[in-house]
C-alpha cells in the first residue's frame, strides 16, 4: 500500500486528503507545521503533497504583514520540506501545490515571484537527493483533489492550463542547467 503525507492548511486539506484516500493510499494528514516533526518521526512515505499553509494576518505595518506572509507562508514550506525529506524514499513523489496568496489585499503581490520560489524549492529537493530520482512536480491552485491524487501516479490534471504545463516543463528542463550552475560554484583544491 502506498503511504502519502499531506501537509498544509485551509479548505483544500480535507478535499485533497480524501481524494488520495479514495485511491487506496494510506494517508497521513498534518495541518500544523508545529506537529510535523513529531508526525514524520520514524515514518517512511512513498509520496508527499505539500499544500499552502493557512495563516491569520496580524496587525501592523504593510511591511510587517508582507514579512509574515513570506516567513509564515512561502518560506515555511521550505522548512516543512526539510523536515519531511528524511522520511521520503529515494524514488518518492513530491507534489508542491501552489496557491499561497497574500493574506492582505493591500499588500503587493507578485505571482511570478511566488512561482519562482516554488521552482527553487523543487530544484532544492531534487538536488538534495541527487543522484537518487526524487520526482518533484508543481501543481497549480486550480488542480482538484482528484488531479493531485492522480499526479502521484504520474497522471496529469483533467484540464492542464498551458501556463502550468509550461511551468512543469520548465522545471524539468532547467534542472540540469541549475544543478550544473550550483555545483560549478563548488571549488575543490588539492
Read off the pLDDT of residues 111-162 as tens digits, 9 standing for 90 and up.
Answer: 788 888 889 999 999 999 988 889 999 998 889 999 999 999 877 666 544 4
Question: What does the block give as the cell for 33?
Answer: 507545521
Is residue 16 assigned to a domain? yes
Read off the pLDDT of residues 129-143 as tens digits, 9 standing for 90 and up.
Answer: 988 889 999 998 889
Does the bond joining 101 to the residue before it have cis omega, within 30 degrees of 0? Answer: no
Residue 108 has what pLDDT? 65
Q: What percentage of residues in the chain have a pLDDT greater than 90?
A: 48
Mean pLDDT value across residues 25-38: 95
Higher pLDDT, 157 or 18: 18
Read off the pLDDT of residues 73-104 as tens digits, 9 standing for 90 and up.
Answer: 889 999 999 999 999 999 999 999 988 665 55
Is residue 189 assigned to a domain? no
pTM over 0.75: yes
Count helices and strands in the chain by DSSP H and E runs: 7, 5
DSSP state of 87: G
Is residue 178 assigned to a domain? yes
Structural domain including 127 reads: 3-184
Residue 65 has what pLDDT? 78
Beta strands 88-97 and 45-50, pairing class:
parallel
Is residue 64 assigned to a domain? yes
Tell me how far apart the alpha carbons of residues 71 and 7 are, in angstroms, rounded to a whole number.
Answer: 17
Mean pLDDT of the residues in the chain: 83
Q: What is the CATH number of the domain that holds 133?
A: 3.40.50.720
Is residue 190 assigned to a domain? no
Q: What is the dihedral of CA 33, 6, 134, 159, to 10 degrees?
A: -130
* Domain total in the chain: 1
Residue 17 has pLDDT above 80, yes or no: yes
Is residue 126 assigned to a domain? yes
Amino acid at each position: 500500500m502506498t503511504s502519502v503525507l499531506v501537509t498544509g492548511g485551509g479548505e483544500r486539506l480535507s478535499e485533497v486528503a480524501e481524494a488520495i484516500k479514495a485511491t487506496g493510499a494510506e494517508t497521513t494528514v498534518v495541518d500544523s507545521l508545529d506537529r510535523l516533526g513529531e508526525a514524520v518521526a520514524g515514518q517512511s512515505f512513498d509520496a508527499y503533497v505539500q499544500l499552502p499553509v493557512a495563516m491569520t494576518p496580524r496587525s501592523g505595518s504593510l511591511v510587517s504583514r508582507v514579512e509574515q506572509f513570506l516567513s509564515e507562508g512561502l518560506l515555511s514550506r521550505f522548512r516543512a520540506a526539510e523536515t519531511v525529506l528524511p522520511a521520503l524514499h529515494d524514488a518518492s513523489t513530491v507534489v508542491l501545490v501552489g496557491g499561497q496568496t497574500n493574506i492582505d489585499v493591500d499588500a503587493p503581490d507578485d505571482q511570478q515571484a511566488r512561482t519562482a520560489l516554488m521552482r527553487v524549492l523543487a530544484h532544492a529537493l531534487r538536488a538534495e537527493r541527487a543522484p537518487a530520482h526524487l520526482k518533484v512536480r508543481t501543481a497549480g491552485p486550480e488542480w482538484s483533489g482528484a488531479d493531485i491524487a492522480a499526479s502521484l501516479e504520474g497522471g496529469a490534471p483533467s484540464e492542464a492550463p498551458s501556463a502550468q504545463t509550461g511551468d512543469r516543463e520548465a522545471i524539468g528542463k532547467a534542472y540540469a542547467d541549475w544543478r550544473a550552475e550550483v555545483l560549478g560554484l563548488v571549488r575543490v583544491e588539492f
